[in-house]
């Protein structure tokens, strides 16, 4: 997996051309039309759908869907998507296609990320999805993935004038974007895509090691892999960092935030936009790394579906905190899907 880094100009230009805010904010290109919009994000681990209608200053969600499909399961070993994983993803996407039809969605975009980028049969899978569901998957590059994540969640950053790091821990990769904000709009300074996400990093260590008596040593090895993956990004970070801010958009950060709040069940309203002291997140990460599978499963907002992957997410998060030692971690239960919706709506003239 090739890593990518860009100083601002090329990525920032793409950000503006494809619906990102300009220095003055969103600028209507024509009279707005009240379409119903859809966005699908097919990642290495999850399939997510969001359907919304625009309103001044934002949008109203009218339908949503999320399912863990583990599309990238076994990809690190075989180099290809397995038949079982593709079947799971097609099943989820069929539900998405039905929702798009029933909600009379007039404009939509569907993207696939690291699993399809890396797999030898990624395009073959996308062709199957189109034939069986009618959904045209756009296998996007890491730069576009980073842009959409920033567009979808940057408004949740803590107030401040200093630089900010926005990151997205996915199933197969982790995207990091350094931004400045001018008049509330993000200016992208640099970005990086590391080849470790919760699925790929878990498989690199092996579940037996993570559940064995030496699981803390296994956790340390995963943290070190993540550190090495970020090493070439460190020189791109601004010097003399003051008033720095950190915002994460991923299942890892929303899960850990739920544990921090001791929620009996996941509640997006309590988590989205929360700011948690970094020390608390580090303590939770260490606690989870020391637990076995059954202990992690017993935590209400982790459960069986996330218990085997959350440890890798903690390792990646701790490596990020080391290179960007902010005081608090902002938590976003929004990202690529919201970025797609904002991009589509901005093209139709909606001021978001």
Per-residue pLDDT tens over the stretch 141-190: 999 999 999 999 999 999 888 899 999 999 999 999 999 876 667 889 99
Residue 296 contacts by C-beta under 8 Å, 6 or more apart in sequence?
Answer: 288, 302, 306, 307, 310, 311
User: What pLDDT is stored for residue 307 in this prediction?
Assistant: 93
Cβ atoms of residues 309 and 45 within 8 Å: yes
Tokens of 192: 């990086």
Tokens of 26: 């969103």
Laid out side by side, the sheet with 174-182 consists of 185-194, 174-182, 164-169, 245-249, 328-332, 275-277
Question: Which H/E stretch holds residue 166?
Answer: strand 164-169
Residue 241 in this model has a pLDDT that exceeds 80: no
CATH second-level architecture of 144-332? 2-Layer Sandwich (3.30)
Query: Tens digit of pLDDT for each residue in 195-213?
Result: 999 999 999 998 888 888 9
Cα separation, 279 vs 58, in Å, equals: 33
Which residue is it, tokens 């709040």? 261
Cβ atoms of residues 112 and 122 within 8 Å: yes
Cα separation, 133 vs 94, in Å, equals: 5
Tokens of 246: 């950190």
User: What pLDDT is stored for residue 32 in this prediction?
Assistant: 55
Phi, psi angle pair for 114, to nearest 5°:
-60, -40
- Summarize the confidence of residues 289-310 as an average pLDDT: 93
Q: Which residues pair with 191 in a beta bridge?
A: 177
Helix (H, G, I), strand (E, B) or coil at 111: strand
Laid out side by side, the sheet with 46-55 consists of 58-68, 46-55, 37-42, 107-112, 137-139
Q: Which of 20, 294, 285, 341 is nearest to 177 (CA)?
A: 20
Residue 12 in this model has a pLDDT that exceeds 50: no
User: What pLDDT is stored for residue 184 in this prediction?
Assistant: 65
Residue 7 in this model has a pLDDT that exceeds 70: no
Residue 69, judged by CB atoms within 10 A of its CB (0-12, 13-18, 19+), counts as: buried
Residue 29 in this model has a pLDDT that exceeds 50: no
User: What pLDDT is stored for residue 6 in this prediction?
Assistant: 40
User: What pLDDT is stored for residue 168 in this prediction?
Assistant: 96
Cβ atoms of residues 192 and 176 within 8 Å: yes
Give percent of the chain with pLDDT exceeding 90.
78
3-state secondary structure 67-78: EECCCCCCHHHH
User: What pLDDT is stored for residue 27 in this prediction?
Assistant: 35
Residue 214 in this model has a pLDDT that exceeds 50: yes
User: What pLDDT is stored for residue 181 in this prediction?
Assistant: 76
Tokens of 204: 């690199």
Identify the DSSP state of 238: P
CATH 3.30.420.150 domain position(s) in the chain: 144-332
CATH 3.30.420.40 domain position(s) in the chain: 34-140
User: What pLDDT is stored for residue 20 in this prediction?
Assistant: 42
Query: Tens digit of pLDDT for each residue in 225-237?
Result: 999 999 999 999 9
Q: Mean pLDDT lowest for which of 56-65, 126-135, 181-190, 232-241?
A: 181-190
Average pLDDT across the chain, whole number: 89
Cα separation, 157 vs 154, in Å, equals: 6
Q: For domain 34-140, give the CATH number.
A: 3.30.420.40
pTM here? 0.85
Residue 117 in this model has a pLDDT that exceeds 70: yes
- Summarize the confidence of residues 101-105 as an average pLDDT: 97
Beta strand 185-194 with 164-169 is: unpaired
Provide the CB-side half-sphere exposure for 330 (13 A, CA): 23
Give percent of the chain with pLDDT exceeding 70.
90
């Amino acid at each position: 997996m090739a890593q990518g880094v860009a100083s601002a100009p090329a990525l920032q230009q793409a950000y503006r051309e494809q619906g990102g805010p300009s220095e003055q904010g969103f600028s209507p290109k024509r009279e707005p039309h009240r379409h119903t919009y859809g966005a699908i994000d097919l990642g290495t681990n999850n399939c997510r759908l969001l359907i919304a209608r625009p309103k001044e200053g934002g949008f109203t969600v009218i339908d949503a869907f999320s399912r863990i499909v583990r599309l990238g399961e076994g990809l690190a070993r075989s180099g290809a998507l397995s038949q079982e994983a593709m079947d799971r993803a097609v099943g989820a996407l069929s539900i998405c296609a039905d929702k798009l039809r029933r909600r009379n969605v007039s404009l939509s975009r569907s993207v696939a990320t690291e699993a399809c980028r890396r797999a030898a049969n990624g395009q073959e899978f996308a062709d199957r999805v189109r034939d069986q569901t009618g959904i045209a998957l756009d296998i996007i590059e890491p730069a576009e993935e980073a842009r959409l994540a920033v567009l979808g969640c940057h408004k949740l950053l803590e107030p401040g004038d200093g630089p900010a790091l926005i990151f997205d821990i996915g199933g197969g990769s982790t995207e990091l974007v350094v931004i400045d904000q001018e008049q509330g709009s993000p200016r992208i300074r640099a970005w990086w895509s590391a080849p470790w996400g919760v699925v790929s990093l878990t498989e690199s260590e092996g579940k037996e090691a993570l559940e064995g008596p030496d699981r803390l040593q296994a956790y340390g090895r995963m943290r070190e892999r993540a550190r090495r993956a970020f090493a070439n990004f460190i020189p791109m970070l601004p010097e003399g960092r003051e008033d720095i801010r950190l915002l994460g958009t991923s299942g890892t950060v929303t899960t850990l935030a739920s544990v921090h709040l001791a929620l009996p069940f996941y509640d997006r309203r309590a988590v989205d936009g929360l700011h948690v002291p970094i020390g608390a997140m580090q303590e939770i990460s260490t606690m989870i790394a020391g637990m076995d599978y059954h202990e992690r499963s017993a935590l209400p907002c982790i459960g069986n579906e996330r218990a085997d992957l959350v440890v890798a997410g903690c390792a990646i998060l701790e490596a990020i905190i080391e290179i960007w030692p902010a005081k608090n971690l902002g938590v976003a239960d929004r990202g690529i899907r919201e970025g797609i919706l904002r991009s589509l709506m901005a093209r139709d003239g909606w001021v978001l």
